[in-house]
Amino acid sequence: MGIESQWIWMDDKLVPYEQATIHFNSTALHYGLAVFEGIRSYNTANGPAIFRAREHAKRLLDSAKVLGFRPLPWTVEDLVHAFTEVVRANQFNECYIRPVIYLAEGGWNLCVDNGRLALAISAWEWKNYLGQEAMERGIRANISTFTHHHPNVMMTKAKISGNYANSALAKTESVRLGFDEAIMLDPQGYLAECTGENIFLVYKGKVLTTPTAAVLEGITRDALLTLMNDLGYEVVDQMISRDQLYIADEVFVCGTAAEVIALREIDYRTIGEGKMGPVTRSIQQAYHSAVHGEHLRSSEWLEYVNPPVA
């Protein structure tokens, strides 16, 4: 996977890729004291556009607040401006954007006060997170032996870098076992989310998803709720058990990196027909047209990188 680009945003300016380095003595590295976002820019008829840039900027600031970083010198507007600068400077049409707010100095006493906060933003061309085939065929997943974070152990509303050791434990185990993705249960044994995606089931004509209390409130999940409402699907959020997954007609996951992907098999049980089902397909198509500027919802969700001069 190539994660190169020409320019990276560091400390309020663009620097060449090779110069975007941080010192080894950084608690962001040692203790995971950083927060991040994953955002995508898509090609549209009006040039590259960032999907829900403001919502991602807001969640980045919220994550920083949850981790206790203060004061935060950036506003949502500053961040959206910086995201668009990075896409524009690298002349990308479609790319993944990765901003990180981290403790560049301080934090050695495990207190995040009195350090120096920094913002860096990278972008790269990342086509299919789970592979091209996954988009059409769906993927195979298992229930992880690792439990999802308890919300009073690691803050599940925040994309804190250190949280992702939990995702990496689960994902690595699943991939080594021959699966594509891990499904994580919460400490009570109910369905939580995947390592980087929220999850939905289609069962008896309804779409079910997990309550948001203890999972990351995905921005893709939120967009899909709107699109499903537009499509006339009834969506219910409720506690979901492991065996409900096995007998669902369709299961799909969603996230910025993964987009909308069907799960065709879970724990060696075929889900539905063992391929992407009609509900998942309609939602995947609606999402695809929304992100590419071809949907009625696109105008409220897209931040054009090169807005037309009035």
Q: Which residues bind ligand PMP (CB under 6 A)?
A: 38, 193, 196-198, 216, 218-221, 255-256
Nearer to ligand PMP, 32 or 115 (CB): 32
Reading phi first (left if > 0) and then psi (alpha if -120 to 50, else beta), residue 45 is in alpha
How far apart CA 293 and CA 306 sit, in angstroms, is 14
Nearer to ligand PMP, 90 or 167 (CB): 167
Nearer to ligand PMP, 104 or 185 (CB): 185
Rg (CA), the chain: 19
**Which helix (H) or strand (E) covers residue 170, if one does?**
helix 164-176
Catalytic entry in 127, 159, 171, 206 = 159
CB of 230 to ligand PMP, least distance (A): 18
Select from 52, 11, 24 the least CA-distant residue to 302: 52
CB of 118 to ligand PMP, least distance (A): 21
How far apart CA 195 and CA 149 sit, in angstroms, is 11
CB of 198 to ligand PMP, least distance (A): 5
Query: What is the dihedral sign for C-alpha 298, 301, 304, 305?
Result: negative
How far apart CA 177 and CA 116 sit, in angstroms, is 41
CB of 57 to ligand PMP, least distance (A): 12
Nearer to ligand PMP, 33 or 104 (CB): 33
Nearer to ligand PMP, 174 or 256 (CB): 256
**Which helix (H) or strand (E) covers residue 270, if one does?**
strand 269-270
* Three-class secondary structure assignment of 13-71: EEEEHHHCCCCCCCHHHHHCCEEECCEEEEEECCEEEEECHHHHHHHHHHHHHHHCCCC
CB of 265 to ligand PMP, least distance (A): 21
**Which helix (H) or strand (E) covers residue 250, if one does?**
strand 250-255
The question of whether 65 is a catalytic residue gets the answer no
Active site residues: 159
